Amino acid sequence: MLNSSSSFRVIDYRLNKSTGSVPPADSKVDVIVIDAGHGGHDNGTHGKVLKEKDLALKIALKVGSYIEKNVPGVKVIYTRKDDTYIALDERAAIANKNKADLFICIHANANPNTKAFGTETFVMGLHKDEGNLAIAQRENSVILMDENYQERYEGFDNSPESYILFTLTQSTYQESSLKFASKVESQFKDRVGRQSRGVKQAGFVVLWRTTMPSVLIETGFLTNSPEEKFLAGDEGQELIASGIYRAFKDYKSDVESIN
């Protein structure tokens, strides 16, 4: 529980966007950045056989391949295509530099309770329970590996107090992010047959730094043996990837149908 009397340095985390308005009516979804979480010396979480960094990369490449083969005209950009470490701010910078229309960050979950299982998709926002905070802190902890991380992340240090500062951020793209996240979880539940834990909000640094609709997908719990077994197999990875791909197709169709 956060103590309102805690002392911390107040920093405005709002991004300097080119506009503060909603996307124009002629919006297209032509550029997508797919971010495989972790990599290199950052393994992420793990199960008995799987490392998060390896699973995230396999699924990310499969999602991208589906889009490249089946959705003509969409440019797919990967933050990494091999076992490379990339800092969180650099991942977001890739999306911003390429003026991406959507940013998808792929991860895997962990929990001391080995019975916990299911998918969940996050958008940038204020966490509503301590469980969401714990997940964000675990995924954000990688910033401590980066040189000059306090300067690079504008004073954010992954302490519970620093998450209060995310309340200063009002994302222009939250509604669109929530729409895509809902489509992802619907695919996982209705088409893939996975247990959906729903769409949630939390302060993920990689989402905070992006200037487009962005989500972070937790594809399942590596600490749950049956779920790890599902995710370790080619069929399980294909099903998860195809669910994200179909959600993307639906989202793109919805956005462009209003033009």
Q: What is the pLDDT of residue 202?
A: 80
Q: What is the pLDDT of residue 134?
A: 72
Q: What is the pLDDT of residue 125?
A: 75
**Contact by Cβ (8 Å): 58, 29:** no
φ, ψ dihedrals at 257, nearest 5°: -75, -15
- DSSP string of 136-198? HHHHHGGGGGSTTHHHHTTT--S-GGGGGGGGG---TTHHHHHHHHHHHHHIIIIIS-PPEEE
Residue for token pair 């197999």: 233
In the chain, DSSP assigns E strands to: 31-36, 75-78, 102-109, 119-124, 196-202, 214-221
Q: What is the pLDDT of residue 38?
A: 94
Which of 3.30.160.60, 3.40.50.720, 3.40.50.970, 3.40.630.40 would CATH assign to domain 31-257?
Answer: 3.40.630.40
Q: What is the mean pLDDT of each run of 10 residues along the chain (259 residues)?
A: 31 34 64 97 95 98 98 97 93 94 97 96 74 68 66 65 58 87 98 96 83 95 98 98 98 88
Q: What is the pLDDT of residue 128?
A: 58
**Contact by Cβ (8 Å): 210, 158:** no
Distance between CA atoms of residues 231 and 58, nearest Å = 10
* CA torsion, ordered 164, 95, 144, 225, to nearest 10 deg: 90
Beginning with the edge strand found earlier in the chain, give each strand of the sheet holding 214-221 in spatial order: 75-78, 31-36, 102-109, 214-221, 119-124, 196-202
Cβ neighbours of residue 3 under 8 Å, at least 6 residues apart? Answer: none
Q: In the chain, where are the structural domains located?
A: 31-257
Q: Which amino acid is at 27?
A: S
**Contact by Cβ (8 Å): 103, 218:** no
Q: What is the pLDDT of residue 164?
A: 60
Q: Which amino acid is at 72?
A: P
Cα–Cα distances (Å) from 238 to 169, 192, 215, 243, in that order, read 35, 10, 20, 8
Pairing of the two strands 119-124 and 102-109: unpaired
Pairing of the two strands 214-221 and 119-124: antiparallel
